[in-house]
Structure 1
């Protein structure tokens, strides 16, 4: 697995395979490969905004981020690469 090999730290990777895989399955496989607990937590758009505010973002910034998320989802974007 890429995470266990040198040179992959701080890189974005697209994980693919022979068929669809649920997020919880990815977390379970990462847990097994890394030897530490990895959890998948589904977050609603409202929960996403609340989490940003709890993390210290001003409400206005969280609102703009939430609006951008809805804009992307409305246009069919389902995958975001965070770097």
Structure 2
């Protein structure tokens, strides 16, 4: 898999792989190869999402520290 893929590109390729898997005309080997590619793309997308989630959590933590928000609405 191309390591320079963006999340959006990988997501699109994953959609294409799923569509190919739904095609009953694939041979067993083609199905297995397509499934392997789909799993690799899914793993990449999940990793990208987890990294983005972590970044958002870090930003929110910094914002909470700057704004001195205690979360109970009593400032």
More helix by share: 2
**Structure having the higher Rg:** 2
Fold-level similarity (TM above 0.5): no
TM-score (norm. length: structure 1):
0.28
